[in-house]
Structure 1
Amino acid sequence: MEVNISSGSELEKKVADLQEMTVLAIGEEDYSLKEEIQLELKKLSSRFEQLESQQLFTGDYDSRNAMLALHAGAGGTESQDWANMLLRMYLRWAERHDYKAEVLDVSPGEEAGIKSAIVEIKGDYVHGYLKGEHGVHRLVRLSPFDADHARHTSFVLVEVLPEAEETVDVKINPEDLRIDTFRSSGPGGQHMQKTSSAVRITHLPTGLVATCQGQRSQHQNKEAALKILYSRLLELDRKKKEEERAKLKGERIEA
């Protein structure tokens, strides 16, 4: 709510400034500012529509940044190529909306595409906009990888997790974590990891696992994996609360 009020006040000020500029331009018969005023008006109109749509977001974490996890399903190269297509799509979406996107981890496919990827997208109401993408995405097409160009169906699981405020939303006891290190997998060559820099963190009480191997050092991989784990724990907590609310609602209806 605070974000909306602040953004609304900022928009109101910009509208007032544009109105003043327009009045001055008309009074002085200065038509050189016409294109600039029209462009600014278009931007303000777009921003107003964005703020208006944000009023529809009522979820507990809709205003948060989001962690996006993509997992190619069965189907080998077909599904891995589909996962890569989705990854590029989400990155372009973030760019078009002026959101900051960072690929924290990616596991390349054997022939093409990716096996999995984790992306952090930062911006106002990113989780609210993306949460509808959570689930299994299916693609049916004539395969470019099949010599007979047969029809193939590919599946990719997309997880959309709210970014957790560490130590505020979720508290983790260090004793509840098992941290394993292993060598990063990926293309060979001079940049291939020679040390066990990849990190896998398991939260023992829940069995949730977060893995990261895409960063430059073991420390960075550990930080990224923890960030993912916090988000998964927050999502687990959100689902539990949602189930409790649904149960209470059902009990009230029965009563």
Structure 2
Amino acid sequence: MESREELSERLDTLKEKIGEVAGYIDLERKTERIKELRDKTMNPDFWQDNLKAQKITKEISDLEYEIKRWNTILELQEDADLHFMMSDEDPDLSKEIPEILDKLEDEITSLETEKLLSGEYDKKNAIFVIHPGAGGTESQDWADMLFRMYTRWFEKRGFEYTVLNYQPGDEAGIKEAVIEVKGPYAYGYLSAETGVHRLVRISPFDSNARRHTSFASVFVYPEADDDIDIDINPKDLRIDTYRASGAGGQHVNKTDSAIRITHIPTGIVSTCQNERSQHKNKEMAMKILKSRLYQLKKEEEESRKADLEKDKMEIGWGSQIRSYVFHPYTLVKDNRTKYETGNIQAVMDGDLDGFVKAWLTYSHSQQND
């Protein structure tokens, strides 16, 4: 347990960080911008241009979110000061100080992390896709473990998510999961997880209890909306309907409304089986397809890959971004940043913030070199 002196020093350190953040948060400018935008929404013709109106309301929402975050930090700081002052008269109040400081530290860390998210589409929602690598049941089970890990992380971060496609494996696990994730900076945060994830464990599917290595891939796309310009020729599409499947009805419905759209020129396939309406599934499958085609176009323009789907790294040795070792020791290590932890169970329960911040910090420093 921290002493009163240690807690006081910790609060002083956090106050220094708050002062640094205050230097770039520019609350006054954000408040003025909200007023300016709200004045525009009062125009009777505001919704005549639907695309422009959506951009304005989204900007208002983003600015209000940033102001709310900052006010939360100030309130927690004030709460900590008050507890220190009142604890002289009521010693029981001092027991609450560590929890308040933990919350304050988390809020400051989150705000500092979001400063690193300055990409063009970092504030957008995301399409999150998980695929198993080679290896059948073992890798499919690993993909399902990742599905559980990430959905828990989404919940911890306060992201809303919808499972759009969930294809169960032959014996266990999944063949694919497609998830729509909504929330502030969703794409910016989730893009840190794109790559191959490696698992080392004693396989529960091996009667000889041997150690196995499995792989699964994660791909993240910014959710396409009206301000992402992607033209799709209807003649380039093959649209199939089929009966939805899922883990005992847990994730999807069982009607004949599932949609599979194939973009013939690229071979990209988009599926959705979450909605009961075939029309809604088609609409969401088109949105996923548009997101993937946008990502392909973006990466071609950046000359990093000629084709997103065809030039992906092989899911196997040497291409992984992170390793999860359950045996003969426990360790999760990011191969890009070298960030690691021995608390593998916490990671599998969705404690990923340390890995994500380490990647965003590393990526930001690489861009500025």
Q: TM-score, normalised by structure 1?
A: 0.78
Residues 65 and 121 of structure 1 are in contact (CA less than 8 Å); yes or no, is this contact kept in structure 2? Answer: yes
Alignment of 1:178 onto 2:245? no
Q: Report what 2:204 is aligned to.
A: 144
Of stretches 146-155 and 200-209 in structure 1, the one that deviates more from structure 2 is: 200-209
Counterpart residue identity of residue 60, structure 1: E
| Residue 190 of structure 2, aligned match among 94, 113, 130 | 130
Cα separation, 2, equivalents of 1:71 and 1:225: 17
The Cα shift of 1:77 comes to: 0.8
Cα separation, 2, equivalents of 1:57 and 1:174: 33
| Residue 47 of structure 1, aligned match among 101, 104, 107 | 107
Alignment of 1:105 onto 2:165? yes
**Cα offsets for 1:142-187 (capped at 9, x unmatched):** 211111112222221211111121x320333452433111233457
Aligned pairs (5 A) from 1:21-170: 42-165=102-225, 167-170=226-229
Structure 2: gaps of 5 or more residues: 1-24, 26-58, 305-369
Q: Report what 2:68 is aligned to.
A: 10
Residues 139 and 216 of structure 2 are in contact (CA less than 8 Å); yes or no, is this contact kept in structure 1? Answer: yes
Q: Report what 1:208 is aligned to.
A: 268
Residues 4 and 51 of structure 1 are in contact (CA less than 8 Å); yes or no, is this contact kept in structure 2? Answer: no
Q: Report what 2:5 is aligned to.
A: none
Counterpart residue identity of residue 68, structure 2: E
Counterpart residue identity of residue 57, structure 1: L
Q: Report what 1:242 is aligned to.
A: 302
Counterpart residue identity of residue 199, structure 1: I
The Cα shift of 1:129 comes to: 1.8
Cα separation, 2, equivalents of 1:24 and 1:142: 52
The Cα shift of 1:95 comes to: 1.1
- Give the CA RMSD over aligned residues: 3.3
Indicate how the Cα distance of structure 1 residues 34 and 73 shifts in structure 2: closer, same or farther if over 3 A, else same: same
Cα separation, 2, equivalents of 1:50 and 1:89: 20
Of stretches 175-184 and 105-114 in structure 1, the one that deviates more from structure 2 is: 175-184
Indicate how the Cα distance of structure 1 residues 16 and 178 shifts in structure 2: closer, same or farther if over 3 A, else same: same
Residues 262 and 270 of structure 2 are in contact (CA less than 8 Å); yes or no, is this contact kept in structure 1? Answer: yes
2:144 is paired with a residue whose SS is helix
The Cα shift of 1:42 comes to: 4.1
Aligned pairs (5 A) from 1:225-236: 225-236=285-296
Residues 82 and 156 of structure 1 are in contact (CA less than 8 Å); yes or no, is this contact kept in structure 2? Answer: yes
1:243 is paired with a residue whose SS is coil
Cα separation, 2, equivalents of 1:179 and 1:147: 43
Counterpart residue identity of residue 169, structure 1: I
Residues 139 and 215 of structure 2 are in contact (CA less than 8 Å); yes or no, is this contact kept in structure 1? Answer: yes
Cα separation, 2, equivalents of 1:11 and 1:199: 39
2:285 is paired with a residue whose SS is helix
2:117 is paired with a residue whose SS is coil
Residues 127 and 221 of structure 2 are in contact (CA less than 8 Å); yes or no, is this contact kept in structure 1? Answer: yes
Structure 1: gaps of 5 or more residues: 245-255
1:49 is paired with a residue whose SS is helix
Cα separation, 1, equivalents of 2:112 and 2:234: 45
What is the number of equivalent residue pairs in this alignment?
Answer: 241
Query: Counting strand residues as a fraction of each chain, which structure ranks higher?
Result: 1
Residues 125 and 182 of structure 2 are in contact (CA less than 8 Å); yes or no, is this contact kept in structure 1? Answer: yes
Cα separation, 1, equivalents of 2:247 and 2:186: 32
% of aligned pairs identical? 49
The Cα shift of 1:82 comes to: 0.3
Q: Report what 2:18 is aligned to.
A: none
Cα separation, 2, equivalents of 1:44 and 1:89: 25
The Cα shift of 1:33 comes to: 7.3
